[in-house]
Structure 1
Amino acid sequence: MLTESIDDTPMSQSKAFLNGVIKILPLCFAVLPWGLLAGSMAIQAGLTTLQAIGMSVLVFAGAAQLMTLGLVMVGTPALTIIISVFLITTQHYLYALYLRDDISKQPLKHRLMLGFLLTDELFAVSIKKQQHYIYYLLGAGICFYLCWVLFSICGVLLAASVPNLDQYHLDFSIVATFIAIVVPFIKNLNTLVGVMVSVVLTIVFLSLGIKSAAILAGVIGMLTATCLQNLRERAA
């Protein structure tokens, strides 16, 4: 009982919060080019400085944010943009389902905050459960959010002095970040095969001009990994 009492002190909660911050810091730095590009593209898309900053503060969507800006710049209809954003963010429903049991009993304010802060990066560091899990997640999520907003603001400011920032291929950080997220999860043959299938099909679909290539390839990759696991279990 004494241990539980000590563990519930604000100090231990603060430690869990700080652990979350430390855990996600490498991924924060990884999206620096990504954030710069988002801020710069917002200005190129015709947004004012306040609108561009407000988009990162309120939307906080990463890849979906970049895709939206790109579609706006080429005059894509609003309905197409909405559908595209929905498709590219569907994985967040799976993330929420994974975290539901741990978060469902938390106060509404915590659930709303984590719902807003939930990203691929936050999910990546959420796999390892620990004491005061909610504070750990909040620490990681808030840290990543503040870094994203800061990097986006830098991109907005750079847009005036360094035009066409998108020509510097800063979007490589998107691929690099997802590689950093995915690789630690490759711990068996099933996962490896699923990842390889997704990568190969993404390249093939892109070469064929198929829209939503990454999403389609990802779904097929997951199905492949699941089928392979079932076959191996039956053969065992």
Structure 2
Amino acid sequence: MQFLERLRALAADPDFGRGARDMASPSLGLAAWGLVTGVTMVKSGLSLPLACGMSLLVFAGSAQLTALPLIASGAPLWVLLATAFCVNLRFVIFSAQWRNYFGHLPRAKRLTLTYFAADLNFVYFVKRYPDPVPATVQQRYFWGGVAVNWPAWQLCSFAGILLADRIPTHWGIGFAGVLALLGLSYSLLTEKMLWWVALTAGAVSIATYSLPLKLNILCAIVAAGAVGWWLDARRGRT
């Protein structure tokens, strides 16, 4: 009973509600992306239990979609791990920022927050709280976003897994997922330096597209990271 009462109190909290409302706006794109990921897991040859387990345990659409072609092609494990690691490097940057808000919390709670911390959570959280100063209301806002973000992803991912054989490829849901990611990426390009980094990543990815085992992704990440480091160092000297 106490647990239910705490849930009711949390649902009635204005900061929790604000987090849920903010996350509801991009939920359509998130749903498309989750559906794409679910379908792709099955089309890549994963069994239903493995696909469901991957959706629940990994909870990272870009890493999942990057790893799946490598799994299907029998790529070496080191290539698979290196690619997934590089794709998720952005979460190292995100975590460094999250630390300013949640670094004082117990380790168990921080680990729980880490699992649910996704791209959209970060974007809307930082917009809501631009000053990196911890406050109690921030956790309630964070969980409000999670209450929309996580179920939307998992429900649509599971729908894609279960309906993969019934969804025609000519529907083009993959393109809808790409548009969702592009919208998210665009919202993060808030300064000129980031535009140069994004353009570098896109150009290198296209130029090296013919490389095997999706190595063009690794090349794009390395090139974009190098350009970002160089521009940041140059800005620090001026």
State the TM-score, normalized to the length of structure 1: 0.79
Instruction: Give secondary structure in 2 for the equivalent of 1:93.
Output: helix
- CA 1:28–1:80 in 2, change beyond 3 Å: closer, same or farther? same
1:203 aligns with 2:169: no
Query: Which residue number corresponds to residue 15 of structure 1?
Result: 14
**Partner Cα distance (1:83, 1:195) in 2:** 21
Residues 94-126 of structure 1 deviation map (CA, whole Å, 9 limit, x = unaligned):
111111121012244431221001222222112
**Partner Cα distance (2:110, 2:59) in 1:** 17
Residue 173 of structure 1 deviates from its aligned partner by 4.0
User: In structure 2, what residue type is equivalent to 1:218?
Assistant: A
Instruction: Give secondary structure in 2 for the equivalent of 1:127.
Output: helix
User: In structure 2, what residue type is equivalent to 1:136?
Assistant: Y
- CA 1:77–1:201 in 2, change beyond 3 Å: closer, same or farther? closer
1:193 aligned to which of 186, 196, 207: 196
Query: Which residue number corresponds to residue 153 of structure 2?
Result: 148
* Greater shift in the superposed pair: 209-218 or 154-163: 209-218
Q: How many residues align?
A: 221
Structure 1 portions without partners, runs of 5+: 1-9
Query: Which residue number corresponds to residue 219 of structure 1?
Result: 225
1:229 aligned to which of 217, 235, 238: 235
Residues 4-55 of structure 1 deviation map (CA, whole Å, 9 limit, x = unaligned):
xxxxxx5798221221122122333213232122212222333333332222
User: In structure 1, what residue type is equivalent to 2:220?
Assistant: A
Query: Which residue number corresponds to residue 96 of structure 1?
Result: 95
Q: Are the equivalent residues in 2 in contact too, given 1:114–1:141 (CA < 8 A)?
A: no
RMSD: 2.8
User: In structure 2, what residue type is equivalent to 1:220?
Assistant: A
User: In structure 2, what residue type is equivalent to 1:140?
Assistant: G
State the TM-score, normalized to the length of structure 2: 0.78
